[in-house]
A = this chain, B = another copy of it.
């Protein structure tokens, strides 16, 4: 039975956005995309797989970097068009820039003086090919 996966409202490209949240800290680590195979493999293996839109390839998170995400929980939203993963971020790095999370840029300032400021340090050397 694969009814559960047929519930997902894939977009016109057969993809769904997936948010990875650190299960321990609650931090939102990243937003990536999944196709059907990525979600199936994520659920079957317990490790996050995504679809790279730029490389047009299935991508196991941490395949070369070792920054694997162990998936503790898979959720879907009310419209079934977004996925939420609660994960353990094995080496504590989610971002290909070597940061803990991809959302490291915060909007600061006011009025006409707003700008994005990187708030998080680089912990590990980045590996753009395998975030």
Residues of A within 8 A of B (CB): 1, 3-4, 7, 17, 19, 21, 25-28, 30-31, 43, 73-80, 82, 84, 95-97, 99, 102-107, 112-116
Contacts and interface: CB of A to CB of B under 8 A. Distances in A.
Contacts of A4: 107, 114-116
A21 B17 contact: no
Contact of A82 (B21, B31, B106): B31
A128 to B, nearest CB: 10
B31 A17 contact: yes
Contact of A19 (B31, B95, B106, B107): B31
A46 to B, nearest CB: 11
* Tally of this chain's copies: 2
B28 A74 contact: no
Query: Which 9 residue pairs are nearest across A and B when measured between Cβ atoms?
Result: A26-B26, A31-B82, A77-B102, A74-B107, A75-B103, A84-B103, A78-B102, A4-B114, A76-B105
B113 A76 contact: no
A80 to B, nearest CB: 8
B82 A95 contact: no
B115 A3 contact: yes
A4 B28 CA distance: 21
